[in-house]
Amino acid sequence: MGTRKISVLYIVTRVMLAILIMFSVTILVRFFTRQVLIEKMGMNNRFTRAVFFDALRMEENVQSPQIDWSGEFPFDEVGSPVEARSNQSISIISQHIASLVKSLESRIVSYTTDTVIFYPRILEMANQYKKAIGWNMVPNAEYNGVISMDDGYLTTIVEKRDISDNVKAISDLKTYLDKQGIDLLYVQIPHKICKHDTKLSGVIDFSNQNADAFLSGLKEQRVDYLDLRNVLHKEGLNHHELFYRTDHHWKAETGLWAAGIVSKTLNDRYGFNIDLESLNPENFEYKVYEKWFFGSQGKKVTLSRAQPEDIALIYPREEAMLSFRVPGNNLDLSGSFGIFYDESKIRDRLLQQQPLRCVHVR
C-alpha cells in the first residue's frame, strides 16, 4: 500500500512539474515571438501564426512613435518636472514607487496570462464555473476583475483613491493657460456605474466618489468644469445604455450627445459660436451591425458569460470636409467624415454583413 501511494504521488508531481515547465517555455517563446519577431521585426508568417495557433486573433503590428510632447505642449515655463519632484515629500515619492511596482506587476500578469498556451479556453472554462456557482465578486486589483450588473451590463470596479496629485496637476495647467490667455474647462465623464446605484456605487466601486472629490478640489482651485453625470440625469437618460454592454467605452451615439452638451457649454460660458444644429442626432445616419461587437470586458469573461452586441457607425447626412490630426499615431488626414473610421481593421467583417440603416431617436 505504501509503495503504491509513493508511486502515485511521484507520478502526479512529475506530471504537474512537466505542465508548469511547458507553460513557462510557452510564455518565453511567445513573449519573444510577439515582442521581437512581430512587433520589432514586423514578421507575420507561418511560424508566428503557429506559435499563436490557439489565439483568437493575431495582434496588429502597430507601433506608436515617440513624441516630443515638450515641443507639442511647452509647459516647462511654469516649472520643470525636476523642480516639482524635488518639492515632493518622501511619502508622495513612496506612493509613486508603490504605483510603479503595481503597474509593473500588472504588466507581468498581463503578458504572462495572455501568452499561456490554451489561455482563451482555460479562461472560458473558469468563467463557466463562476457562472455555474453564481460567483460575481472580484478583488479590486484582479486582472480579469469584471462583474455583471443586475441588467446584464459588464463593468470593472475602481478602488478609492487619493486625487490630490490630480487636482494639483490640473491647477498647474490652469496657471499656465491663464498666462497664455487661454480658458480651461474640465469635462467629467461618467463611469459605467451610475452615481445613484446604491448597490455598487460607494459600496464596492468608488469611481464616482473619486470624481466627486476631484471636482470638489477643482472648485477650490477655481477651475471651471462640466459634470456630464449630472446632465445625463437631468435629461432622464438611461445611464447604462450610454455604454456598450461588453465594453467600458461609450457608444458612438453617446459621443455625439456629449459633443452637443460640451459645445453648448462652450457657447454659453465662453462665447463660442458653434453650430449646435450640426450636432443634432437627426442629422446623422446610423449603420447598425447586429450582434457584431464584443468588447474588452466581454472578452475577459468570454462567450460563456456574455454575447456579441449591436454597434452603430454614424455618418452625417450632409457632406462635410474635416481635418483629423493625432501626432501619437502619425495621423494627419483631411476629407469626409469617413476619415474617422479605419475600416481596414474591419473590412472583412463589413463585407460579411450589410448594416441595418435607421434614424436615431433619443
pLDDT given at position 128: 67
Question: Considering the domain boundaries, does residue 127 fall inside one?
Answer: no
Pairing of strands 185-188, 224-227: parallel
Q: Helices 164-180 and 207-220 sit at what angle, rounded to 10 degrees?
A: 40
Residues 278 and 238 in one domain: no
All 3 cell numbers of residue 34?
510577439
Same domain membership, residue 321 and residue 300: yes
The distance from CA 260 to its chain's CA centroid, rounded to whole angstroms, is: 23
Instruction: Kindly state the helix (H) or strand (E) to which residue 259 belongs, with its residue range.
Output: helix 252-270
Question: Are residues 9 and 27 part of one domain?
Answer: yes
- How high is the pLDDT of residue 92? 64
**What are the angstrom distances between the C-alpha of 276 and each of 144, 257, 268, 272?**
41, 11, 12, 11
Residue 221: inside a domain, yes or no?
yes
Domain boundary among the residues 243, 259, 278 is at 243
Residues 267 and 330 in one domain: yes
Residue 88 lies in a domain: no
Q: State which of 243, 270, 297 marks the end of a domain.
A: 243
pLDDT digits 0-9 by tens, 318-362: 888 888 888 887 888 899 888 888 777 677 666 666 665 454 444
Residues in the chain: 362
CA distances, 154 to each of 193, 215, 268, 356 (Å): 10, 26, 36, 25
Compute the distance between CA of residue 2 and CA of residue 24 in angstroms, rounded to an integer: 33
Q: Are residues 170 and 273 in the same domain?
A: no
Number of domains in the chain: 3
On whether both 218 and 263 belong to a single domain, the answer is no
pLDDT of residue 222: 96
- Asked if 268 and 238 sit in the same domain, the reply is no
Structural domain contains residue 332: yes
| Contacts of residue 335, Cβ cutoff 8 Å, sequence gap at least 6 | 321, 322
Helix, coil or strand: residue 18: helix
262 and 204, same domain (yes or no): no
**233 in the same domain as 183:** yes
103: number of Cβ within 10 Å: 10
CA distance 149 to 303: 17
What's at 259, amino acid-wise?
Answer: A
What nine digits make up the cell of 242? 450610454
Position 8 scores a pLDDT of 81
- One DSSP character per residue, 166-211 reads HHHHHHHHHHHHHHHT---EEEEPPPSS-TT-TTTBTTTB-HHHHH
Q: What is residue 282's predicted lDDT score, i.e. its pLDDT?
A: 93
Residues 6+ apart with CB under 8 A from 270: 183, 185
Do residue 212 and residue 156 come from a single domain?
A: yes
In a domain, 232, yes or no: yes
Per-residue confidence (pLDDT) for residue 23, from 0 to 100? 77
Q: 253-304 pLDDT, tens per residue?
A: 999 999 999 999 999 999 999 999 999 999 999 988 888 889 988 888 888 7
Q: Are residues 268 and 358 in the same domain?
A: yes
Domain range spanning residue 39? Answer: 2-51
Longest dimension (CA), the chain: 89
Rounded to 5 degrees, φ, ψ at 196 are: -100, 15
pLDDT of residue 356: 57
> Is residue 100 domain-resident?
no
Q: Are 167 and 230 contained in the same domain?
A: yes
pLDDT of the chain, 362 residues: tens digit per residue: 555 556 788 888 888 888 888 878 887 888 788 778 888 888 888 888 787 776 644 343 334 444 554 555 444 444 444 444 444 555 666 666 777 776 676 666 666 666 666 666 666 676 666 667 666 656 555 545 788 888 889 998 888 999 999 999 999 999 999 999 999 999 999 999 999 998 889 888 899 999 999 999 999 999 999 999 999 999 999 999 999 999 999 999 999 999 999 999 999 999 999 999 999 999 999 988 888 889 988 888 888 788 899 999 899 998 888 888 888 878 888 998 888 887 776 776 666 666 654 544 44
Beta strand spans in the chain (E) = 146-148, 154-156, 185-188, 224-227, 284-293, 309-316, 322-326, 331-335, 356-358
Which 8-state DSSP code applies to residue 314? Answer: E
Last residue of a domain, one of 176, 209, 243: 243
